[in-house]
Amino acid sequence: MLASAAADYQYHDSYFVVAHFHYVIVGGVVFALFAGAHLYWPKMFGTMLNETLGKVTFWLFLIGFHLTFFIQHFLGLMGMPRRIFTFLPGQGLETGNLISSIGAIFMAIATIVLLINVIMTQVKNEKVGNDPWGDGRTLEWSIASPPPFYNFKQLPLVRGLDAYWLEKMEGKKEMTPAEPLGDIHMPNNSFIPFVISLGLFIAAFGAMYRADTSWGLLVLILGMAVTLGAMFLRSIKDDHGFHIHKEDLMDDDNDKGAKA
């Protein structure tokens, strides 16, 4: 919408832009994040979020979202500028802003309900299986919840799209292995990638202020020195990682069998 110059002449720097932007970001990203968090919570942490509280979160946030941003389209077309938190009385903007504020409160309450859901779930700590939804189709639902740090002890045999579902259709509860059980080669943990990104952050900060300050260029050089130094260290570091022996993997299976 805003790419049309004739239309954007009216929308520009108004609350219409705020409404339009948030309809895209909140509707397309935040709702997806909430949905993904509820779907993959059992896989990440081995516990299931409360479904009823999840529905409360959804409906409160959905209603609050539309109350907050739908009305802002009209506020913008009525002349309310963006980035201005006050306005003169008598312009007909009071009711729309009140509705928008109520909607924001609804979204805040929905987020609080989600946090309560997370806390309650972790306090109860009721463990779930590898496929708690019962209709997992892809590979991640075939391993334990939460996954072991090595993920698969054996590479699974992938015979097509939705590989785990294909195994289920044949009455199997696990993926068919594509290789014999063997030692797993794992990399060691490293702090170097964080240092590289930190150096880039410092360099970008210096680049932003290089033209306006006397110290911007110095900060830029310092950040790049940190980044390049960490990259050089990573290049010359001889790190062969470590191995998880197949005997340990077999012991894990035996422990799981004993618990079952």
pTM for the whole structure: 0.77
Reply yes or no on whether the pLDDT at 11 is more than 60. yes
Alpha-carbon dihedral sign for residues 135, 162, 254, 43: negative
How does pLDDT run across 196-210, given as a tens digit for each residue? 999 999 999 999 988
Strand partners, 81: 14
- The closest of 65, 76, 63, 57 to 18, measured between CA atoms, is 76
What does the block give as tokens for 159? 């015979």
pLDDT of residue 149: 87
State the DSSP string of the chain: -TT-HHHHHHHTTBHHHHHHHHHHHIIIIIHHHHHHHHHHHHHHHSB---HHHHHHHHHHHHHHHHHHHHHHHHHHHTTPBTT-----TTSS-HHHHHHHHHHHHHHHHHHHHHHHHHHHHHHH--B--S-TTS---SGGGGS-SSPPTT--SS-B---SSSHHHHHHHTT-SSPPBSS----EEEPPP-SHHHHHHHHHHHHHHHHHHTTT-SSHHHHHHHHHHHHHHHHHHHHH-----EEE-HHHHHHHHHHHHHH-
pLDDT at 257 over 70: no
Per-residue pLDDT, 214: 83
| Residue (of 96, 9, 83, 25) closest to 1 by Cα position | 9
Q: In this predicted structure, what is the pLDDT of residue 209?
A: 87
Q: How far apart are CA 79 and CA 75, in angstroms?
A: 7
Q: How confident is the model at residue 259 (pLDDT cuts 50, 70, 90)?
A: low
* pLDDT tens per residue, range 31-63: 999 999 999 999 999 999 999 999 999 999 999
In tens, the pLDDT along 139-192 reads 999 999 999 988 898 899 998 899 999 999 998 888 999 989 889 999 899 999
Integer Cα distance of 120 and 252 in angstroms:
29
Over residues 220-254, the pLDDT tens digits come to: 999 999 999 999 999 998 888 899 998 888 766 65
